[in-house]
Amino acid sequence: DIIPVFGSGAVTPFTLQTGDDARFSRMIIDLWTTFAKTGNPNPAADLVGVENSNLDVSSISWRAYDARNPVLECDLESKMVMGGEQEVCAFMDEQIKYDFVVRKPTTPLVQS
């Protein structure tokens, strides 16, 4: 999941991102860059940079998260969705608890 953030399609030798992969990566980079610059992933109209010229970024509104609001589903046609991956997250939460019980690690599940 982290590969698009760095724009590196070279996950195997002699492989480059092209087409939809490159477009998706550019969108993620621009969203993250805008957030790093401004604290808001949505580019302001007066923001100087490629973010405003990227329609994949400027055509969506990524609203702040809270439990009652939708989350941004990042895709070639990104959109705000309710619930997101709640079923997947619930499944993973259970698997992590199970793995923790089975392996009996010496460190706590959550470190403070």
Per the structure, how many domains does the chain have? 1
Highest-scoring range by mean pLDDT, 20-24, 83-87, 98-102:
20-24
Q: What distances in angstroms separate CA 33 from CA 8, 70, 97, one per listed residue?
A: 16, 22, 35
Does residue 112 carry a pLDDT above 80? no
In DSSP terms, which residues pair with 72 in a beta bridge? 80
CB-based contact 57:23 (threshold 8 Å): no
Model pLDDT, residue 69? 74
Give exposure, 7-32, as e/b (b: 16+ Cβ within 10 Å).
eeeeeeeeeebeeeeeebbbbbbbbe
Residue 108 within a domain: no
Domain of residue 16, residue span: 3-103
Residue 46 within a domain: yes
**Total-model pTM:** 0.61
CB-based contact 11:4 (threshold 8 Å): no
